């Protein structure tokens, strides 16, 4: 019989440190406040609504996830944020334009209390933005220390027991791993030397991981996904998750593609285009930031289809992804997919998908879940990369030499089996022979 893992109780307040107070962050914060007051339901959140089957199908045991593992409750959450703009979270939510003003007004006093601390920001990494609320410091090490002060002050002011940090800042320009990213020591030297290989998101990640604060990256930029910060996380026993929230079009891709592959239907082409009019869309209009996003969005199909195993079905797949900045749409992104399928005897077919989604409405429950699950991981002494949270990300972080798992259904099974493992319950293989023996 498996044994439950020792998990420290979720006592006291949990501070949620959000980097960037834009559409995703304000939709998360205002949503949690509204749900807390009973004005809305936490739709889309596994931690709030999900269940997990335990034991055999005949046992009828499907408790809520929050009943089997000790999660912080919504009442325990206290939000803090950094942004390059000074708007408090009410004003920022009005600018983002995702949640109706009538709903925002119901939680306005609480939102107005969340005023962003000055950010660590350098326009070199996010070309389309410029703002006044930015820290000054002799080098990036000094800036990381200043973030540490913000964190300690926030903890003391709100008498917090624990904290987690989620990067909900803009997508930074495309970067790859370099020498400065290899060890903790080379990384710290690079911070002091103001090395351009260290973008702002890495400074935040370093400030969190150094303190043992779990860190997740909601955007596709490298951030904590480098050997130096993974090594630091091992030293400080810090859980990590990322990258790039799996919302709109990629969510649908990782729902559809595993189904097509399961039936061994070939795919010759997958053309995806989006129009988006929020600030994220504006940032992604810069080719260097778009490249980061494009890499993240494109890797999904290669891993799901495994063309090396199925060359007749997927070796010639032409996969194109476009995002066009179109201000009239705001956060209400519209995505079109054209999928060119191949069936029996090579006969072509097509699927057209037109998804009128709301980006941040899909993203907010993920930010909430990731924050709560990372806090759980920390209390369960699970540190380093949390592969069981791949479910939430377009480019799941993974150990070197392992390929990431993109199939949404395998990801969900992995997540729920991790919860069963924590609880000391039998893992579910779906073999099912026991019902017929």
Ligand X SMILES: NC(=O)c1ccc[n+]([C@@H]2O[C@H](COP(=O)([O-])OP(=O)(O)OC[C@H]3O[C@@H](n4cnc5c(N)ncnc54)[C@H](O)[C@@H]3O)[C@@H](O)[C@H]2O)c1
Which residues make up the interface to ligand X (CB under 6 A)? 19-24, 82-85, 96, 119-121, 126, 129, 131, 168-171, 200, 218-219, 244-245, 247, 278-280, 283, 359-360, 362-363
Query: Is residue 247 a contact partner of residue 240, using CB atoms and an 8 Å limit?
Result: no
Q: Which of 422, 385, 421 is nearest to 404 (CA)?
A: 385
Backbone torsions φ then ψ of 316, nearest 5 degrees: -105, 20
Compute the least distance from the CB of residue 21 to ligand X, in Å.
6
Closest to ligand X by CB, 285 or 302: 285
Closest to ligand X by CB, 119 or 198: 119
- Tokens read off for 43: 């739709």
Query: Is residue 331 a contact partner of residue 275, using CB atoms and an 8 Å limit?
Result: no
Compute the least distance from the CB of residue 95 to ligand X, in Å.
8
- Tokens read off for 311: 């060359």
Closest to ligand X by CB, 246 or 420: 246
Compute the least distance from the CB of residue 98 to ligand X, in Å.
9
Query: From residue 9, how far is each of 63, 164, 239, 375, 377 by CA, in Å?
Result: 19, 16, 17, 11, 12
Q: CA–CA separation, 392 vs 285, rounded Å?
A: 24
Closest to ligand X by CB, 98 or 415: 98
Closest to ligand X by CB, 121 or 373: 121
Query: Is residue 170 a contact partner of residue 293, using CB atoms and an 8 Å limit?
Result: no
Q: How far is CA 386 from the centre of its chain?
A: 12
Compute the least distance from the CB of residue 23 to ligand X, in Å.
4
Integer Rg of the chain from CA: 22
Residue spans of alpha helices (H) in 215-286? 227-236, 248-262, 279-284
184-192 and 227-236 are packed helices; what angle lies between their axes, rounded to 10 degrees?
Answer: 110
Which residue is at the shortest CB distance from ligand X? Answer: 22
Compute the least distance from the CB of residue 110 to ligand X, in Å.
19
Closest to ligand X by CB, 73 or 133: 133
Q: CA–CA separation, 104 vs 87, rounded Å?
A: 15
Compute the least distance from the CB of residue 43 to ligand X, in Å.
15
Compute the least distance from the CB of residue 8 to ligand X, in Å.
30
Closest to ligand X by CB, 94 or 237: 94
Query: Is residue 174 a contact partner of residue 291, using CB atoms and an 8 Å limit?
Result: yes
Compute the least distance from the CB of residue 112 to ligand X, in Å.
17
Query: Is residue 99 a contact partner of residue 31, using CB atoms and an 8 Å limit?
Result: yes
Closest to ligand X by CB, 140 or 379: 140
């Amino acid at each position: 019989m498996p044994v439950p893992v020792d998990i420290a109780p979720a006592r006291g307040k949990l501070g949620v440190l959000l980097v960037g107070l834009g559409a995703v962050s304000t939709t998360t914060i205002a949503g949690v406040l509204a749900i807390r007051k009973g004005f809305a339901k936490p739709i889309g959140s596994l931690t709030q609504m999900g269940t997990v089957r335990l034991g055999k199908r005949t046992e009828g045991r499907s408790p809520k996830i929050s009943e089997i593992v000790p999660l912080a409750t919504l009442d325990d959450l206290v939000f803090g944020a950094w942004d390059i703009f000074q708007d408090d979270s009410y004003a920022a939510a009005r600018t983002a334009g995702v949640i109706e003003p009538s709903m925002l007004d119901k939680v306005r006093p609480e939102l107005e209390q969340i005023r962003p601390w000055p950010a660590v920001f350098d326009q070199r990494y996010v070309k389309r933005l410029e703002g006044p609320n930015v820290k000054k410091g002799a080098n990036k090490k000094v800036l990381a220390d200043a973030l540490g002060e913000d964190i300690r002050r926030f903890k003391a002011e709100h008498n917090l027991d624990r904290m987690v940090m989620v990067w909900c800042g803009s997508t930074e320009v495309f970067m790859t791993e370099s020498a400065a990213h290899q060890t903790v020591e080379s990384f710290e030297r690079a911070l002091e030397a103001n090395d351009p290989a260290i973008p702002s998101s890495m400074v935040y990640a370093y400030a969190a991981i150094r303190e043992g604060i779990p860190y997740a990256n909601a955007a596709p930029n490298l951030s904590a996904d480098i050997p130096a910060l993974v090594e630091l996380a091992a030293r400080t026993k810090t859980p990590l998750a990322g990258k790039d929230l799996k919302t709109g079009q990629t969510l649908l891709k990782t729902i559809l593609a595993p189904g097509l592959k399961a039936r061994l239907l070939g795919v010759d082409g997958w053309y995806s285009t989006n129009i988006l009019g929020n600030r994220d869309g504006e940032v992604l209009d810069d080719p260097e930031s778009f490249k980061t996003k494009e890499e993240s969005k494109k890797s999904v199909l290669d891993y799901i289809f495994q063309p090396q195993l199925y060359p007749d079905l997927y070796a010639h797949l032409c996969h194109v992804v476009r995002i066009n900045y179109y201000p009239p749409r705001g956060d209400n992104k519209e995505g079109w997919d054209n999928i060119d399928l191949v069936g029996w005897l090579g006969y072509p077919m097509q699927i057209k998908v037109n998804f009128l989604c709301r980006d941040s409405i899909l993203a907010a429950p993920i930010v909430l879940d990731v924050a709560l699950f990372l806090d759980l991981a920390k209390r369960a002494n699970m540190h380093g990369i949390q592969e069981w949270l791949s479910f939430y990300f377009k480019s799941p972080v993974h150990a070197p030499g392992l390929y990431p798992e993109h199939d949404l259904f395998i990801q969900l099974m992995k997540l729920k089996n991790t919860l069963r493992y924590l609880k000391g319950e039998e893992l579910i293989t779906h073999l099912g022979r026991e019902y017929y023996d």
